Amino acid sequence: MATKHILIVPGDGIGQEVTAVGKKVLDKIAVKFGHTFTYDEALIGHVAIEATGNPLPDESLEKMRKSDAVLFGAVGHPKYDNDPSAKVRPEQGLLKMRKELGLYANLRPIKLFDELLEASSIKPEILKGADILFFRELTGDIYFGEKGRKNNGDTAYDIAEYSRYEVERIARKAFDAARTRRKKLCSVDKANVIETSRLWREVVQKIALEYPDVEVEHQFVDATAMLLIKDPRRFDVVVTANLFGDILTDEASQIAGSMGMLASASIGDGTGVYEPIHGSAHDITGMGVANPLASILSAALLLDISFNMKAESEMVISAVDKVLKAGFRTRDIANAQTPADKILGTAAMGEEVLKFI
């Protein structure tokens, strides 16, 4: 029995809807296992800008630092997407949260539920058994380097930058994880042309000497992009830089059939943040049709990684598996053969999962 304080940060769009379901799952687990989970809420993104003018108010950041874990939704709003000149943007809140909390490692498990083999556009025989854990570096690279315009605004630049310690710390986390899995690690870079990638490869090669039991492969990012679709089962743990990780994990979401199925954890040396990898999806906001399973699986990751509650985490994943086996789907993972009465909205899908916990 444990007492933990969880901060719920719904953010924008469907983030509000799916985190409400994730919280219900955490509540049910607390009751089932005799834990006490206390909660608070905080603003981030567009809703925070509307309320305070700041995409990550100091109050929200303080609450994050004081919590044992954060269950997060999404940030973003169409009004900013259509206005590249906007000085204050929802995504700034996300980047600041990562930087201020030291969330340098983004974990994205790409785990395939057999019932969803048909939901992917890739042939089932290529997919079956795929189980990949991505480690994406989160606080360096081109996102955080110096950027600007020159020549009267006609030339733009973004500087990609990495320090040795930044590569070392995420590489160690990835190697440690590989040890608990199939003992295979693939480090992805573009060392044939990019200097930051040359440093990346040099550091990973050095750290690999400390892990003689882990088989290490170095791959260029373009080759990885191709092999993820051609032969996803060859991968176990994949570690890569921020930009490459952003692109490759979105590509890998198609292995699982839908972005609505994928959870993620952003961790460092303090409070961890757990979130679905899908965005704020304003085209379906308020319609009650968003897939809550990624938020539920993010809650499972939270239990496992931040609280070391392995049995509780497994129970949540098993409940999701049973709901899928029972034929229930949200519309993003349904197909032409799915009976109409099995296609559920956000809240109803959450209720089905709760029944199996």
pLDDT for the residue 257:
73
DSSP annotation of 4 reads E
280: amino acid identity, one letter: S
Of 304, 310, 309, 301, nearest to 277 by C-alpha is 301
Quick one: pLDDT at residue 56? 97
* Number of domains forming the structure of the chain: 2
Rounded to the nearest 10 degrees, the angle between the axes of helix 293-305 and helix 346-355 is: 50
pLDDT at position 275, please? 96
The whole-number pLDDT of residue 22 equals: 98
How far is 285 from 279, CA to CA, in rounded Å?
Answer: 11
Burial 145-173 (b: 16+ CB within 10 A, else e): eeeeeeeeeeeeeeebebeeebbebbbeb
Q: From 255, 285, 301, give the residue that closes a domain.
A: 255
Same domain, 240 and 138: yes
Boundary residue ending a domain (227, 255, 283): 255
Q: Which of 225, 255, 285 is the endpoint of a domain?
A: 255
| pLDDT for residue 279 | 86
Locus of tokens 């834990």: 35
Residues 219 and 331 in one domain: no
Is 218 in the same domain as 278? Answer: no
Shared domain check, 107 and 150: no
229 and 327 together in one domain: no
Per-residue pLDDT tens over the stretch 259-306: 788 899 999 988 999 999 888 988 998 999 999 999 999 999 999 999
Weakly modelled stretches of the chain, pLDDT under 50: none
CATH number, position 75: 3.40.718.10
Helices (H), 68-186: 78-81, 90-100, 124-127, 164-179
pLDDT of residue 290: 94
Residue located via tokens 């044992």: 68
What does R_g of the chain's alpha carbons equal in angstroms? 20
- Verify that 143 and 107 share a domain, yes or no: no
pLDDT at position 214 is 98
Neighbour-count burial for 60-99, b at 16+ CB within 10 Å, e otherwise: bbebbeebbbbbbbbbbbeebeeeeeeeebbebbbbbbbe
Residues 233 and 297 occupy one common structural domain:
no
Query: What pLDDT score does 269 carry?
Result: 84
Q: Does 151 share its domain with 173?
A: yes
Same domain for 243 and 141: yes
Q: Do 290 and 237 sit in the same domain of this protein?
A: no
Cα–Cα distance list, 151 to 145, 146, 158 (Å): 20, 17, 15
Say if residue 157 is in the same domain as residue 105.
Answer: no
- On whether the CB atoms of residues 290 and 18 are closer than 8 A, the answer is yes
- In terms of residue numbers, what domain contains 309? 1-113+258-357
Give, rounded to a whole angstrom, the gap between the first and last alpha carbons of the chain: 17
Tell me the DSSP string of 337-357.
Answer: TS-GGGB--HHHHHHHHHHT-
- Is 168 in the same domain as 188? yes
- Enumerate the active-site residues: 143, 190, 222, 246, 250
Least Cα distance to 73 among 343, 282, 304 occurs for: 282
